[in-house]
Each structure stands twice: as C-alpha cells, then as structure tokens.
C-alpha cells in the first residue's frame, strides 16, 4: 500500500509539472500578442500625428512693429511743436524706428536677408509716409539729413546702440536720390579711414554706399573709384568690394551716366597695379573686367 501511494503521488506531481510549461507557453503567447497590439497602436499614433499637425490652425500673422498709426501720431505731435521743421520730423522718425527695431549685429551687410532688407521691414503705407516727409524737406535738408543719419549710424554702432532705423532711411534715400550719395565724397573717405579697422562699421559703410549704385551705374563706379577701391588691399574688405562692383555692373545696363574718364579710372583701379589688390579676388577682378568691356 505504501508503494502504491508513493506511485500515485509521483504520478500526480508529474502531471502538475507537465501542466506548468503549457501554462507558461500560453502566457508567453498572450504577452507576445499584447506587445504586437501595443506596437500596432504606437505606429498608428505616429501616422496620425502628421495629420493632426496639418489640421492645426496657422499662426496669426504678426502685426508690423512700425505702424501707420504710430508714425502719424509722432508726426502730428512734431508738426504741432516744430511747424515748418521737416528735418526735425525726420530725425525723430529715425530715432523712433531705432527704438522699435533691434539691431542686426551679426550680419552688417544683410547678406543672409532678402534683397530689399531692412526697408522690407516696414509696410508700403509707412514707406509712403516716409517718402512724403523726405520730399517735403527740400534738397538741402535732404542732403543734411543723409549725412547726419550716416554719422548717427556710425555713432550708434560704436556705442552698441540700435541703428536699424538709420539704415532703413539711408537705404530709402539711396533709392530715391542715388546721385546725392556722391555729393560729399570727402566725408565718405574720412569715415572709411576712421572706421576701416572696425569691421562691422566698415562693412555697414560699404553697404550704405552701395545702395545708390543699385539705381545708377555712374554713382556706383564713382563710389567704387573714390571710396572703395583702396579697400581692395585688405582681405577683410576685398571680396565685399568686388561683389558690390559686380552686382552694380550686372544690374545697371544704362551706361549714359558714365564718363570716359570715370571708365578709365575704374579700369586702372583693377588692372594698373597701383593698388596692391588682395589675391583672393583675382577671379572677381577678371569677371568685372569682362563686364566693363
């Protein structure tokens, strides 16, 4: 009897042990199925994510910082306090824009910006107001305003103060009155000599002087010969100077404003050897020579 009981007990234990692996196999299959379902759900969510993003409403367009209302408000106050003094109105407009728009410290020539930057930061309606105020000032005041704004830009850059308002008005003036930019070459040369060792200011001066040349090839070549050509001797500025010249020659097709003497001067600047031109711009020299001939 004892042996029989042991045998029965062993058989029962063996049956239980045989059943355990089956239970484990069943649970393992369940876990694998659950994992497959979870992965399927995750992939479905990922596929839905782009669709949900696409359904998101577009962000509202930011209002311009320099608005017609603010500009008119400033002008009305100035005209009340200083009637018949458009030069003061213009100076206050520059200060107003300087105070609103942050300076572009990392890109003085705006090479990574749109073509008409920073003028593109203001709306057409605001630009129209600026143009009307400029025209109302008269030729003499406009010249004084141009030179004063150029000096203010240099001063603000030296003091790490906002200067984008200066550049917007200098760009606008260069487009409206390109011939005005060559009326006082001596001051441009003086500024170049004073700030050539300060790269951001030197590049900004080049950028300002290049604005008038986009509209008038005679202006572009005059400024190149009188102000920019000596800067070809430095690696810091040579490439920028040649880019300005090349662009002016490419954009402007009207050669009626170029005198024979000016043409010869520019050719001499590039080929005579009297300027120790940096070797980094040999290719640009050749390309501009072809455009000139």
Which phi and psi angles does 94 have, rounded to 5°? -60, -45
Which phi and psi angles does 120 have, rounded to 5°? -70, -10
- Comparing 201 with 273, which gets the higher pLDDT? 201
Rounded distance between C-alpha atoms, residue 290 and residue 268, angstroms: 14
Q: According to the model, what pLDDT value does residue 244 have?
A: 96
Q: According to the model, what pLDDT value does residue 41 have?
A: 66
Q: According to the model, what pLDDT value does residue 172 have?
A: 98
pLDDT digits (tens, 9 = 90+) for 157-202: 999 999 999 999 999 999 999 999 999 999 999 999 999 999 999 9
Instruction: Check: pTM over 0.75? Answer yes or no.
Output: yes
Residues in the chain: 293
Statement: residue 29 has pLDDT above 90: no
Q: According to the model, what pLDDT value does residue 34 have?
A: 64
Statement: residue 277 has pLDDT above 90: no
Q: According to the model, what pLDDT value does residue 275 have?
A: 82
Statement: residue 156 has pLDDT above 60: yes
Averaged over 36-47, what is the pLDDT? 64
Averaged over 17-30, what is the pLDDT? 54
Rounded distance between C-alpha atoms, residue 214 and residue 209, angstroms: 10
Q: According to the model, what pLDDT value does residue 55 have?
A: 47
Q: pLDDT-based confidence at 153, cuts 50/70/90?
A: very high
Residue 172's alpha-carbon distances to 10, 11, 168, 222, 240, in angstroms, are 103, 102, 6, 20, 21
Instruction: Provide the percentage of residues in the chain whose pLDDT is more than 70.
Output: 78
Mean pLDDT value across the chain:
85
Statement: residue 53 has pLDDT above 60: no
Statement: residue 7 has pLDDT above 60: no
Cβ-proximal residues to 256 (8 Å cutoff; 6+ apart), any chain: none
Report the SS3 class of residue 90.
helix
Q: According to the model, what pLDDT value does residue 118 have?
A: 96
Q: According to the model, what pLDDT value does residue 253 have?
A: 72
Averaged over 57-65, what is the pLDDT? 57
Least confident piece of the model among 83-87, 198-202, 254-258, 266-270: 254-258
Query: Which of 69, 94, 98 has its CA nearest to residue 146?
Result: 94
Statement: residue 17 has pLDDT above 60: no
């Amino acid at each position: 009897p004892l042996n029989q009981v042991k045998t029965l007990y062993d058989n029962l234990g063996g049956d239980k042990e045989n059943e355990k692996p089956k239970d484990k196999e069943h649970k393992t299959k369940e876990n694998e199925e659950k994992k497959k379902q979870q992965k399927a759900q995750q992939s479905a969510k990922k596929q839905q994510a782009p669709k949900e993003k696409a359904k998101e409403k577009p962000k509202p367009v930011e209002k311009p910082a320099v608005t017609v209302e603010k500009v008119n408000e400033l002008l009305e106050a100035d005209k009340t306090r200083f009637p018949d003094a458009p030069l003061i109105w213009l100076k206050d407009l520059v200060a107003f824009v300087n105070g609103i728009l942050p300076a572009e410290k990392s890109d003085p020539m705006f090479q990574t910006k749109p073509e008409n930057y920073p003028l593109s930061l203001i709306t057409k309606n605001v630009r129209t107001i600026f143009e009307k105020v400029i025209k109302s000032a008269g030729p003499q005041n406009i010249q004084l305003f141009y030179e004063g704004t150029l000096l203010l830009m240099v001063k603000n850059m030296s003091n790490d103060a906002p200067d984008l308002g200066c550049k917007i008005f200098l760009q606008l003036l260069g487009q409206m009155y390109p011939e005005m930019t060559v009326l006082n070459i001596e001051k441009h040369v003086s500024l170049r000599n004073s700030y050539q060792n300060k790269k951001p200011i030197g590049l900004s001066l080049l950028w300002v002087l290049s604005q008038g040349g986009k509209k008038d090839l005679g202006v572009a070549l005059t400024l190149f010969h009188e102000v920019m050509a000596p800067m070809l001797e430095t690696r810091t500025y040579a490439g920028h100077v040649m880019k300005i010249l090349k662009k002016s020659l490419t954009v402007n097709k009207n050669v009626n404003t170029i005198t024979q003497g000016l043409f010869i001067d520019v050719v001499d600047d590039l080929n005579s050897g009297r300027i120790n031109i940096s070797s980094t711009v040999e290719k640009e020299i050749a390309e501009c020579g072809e455009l000139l001939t």
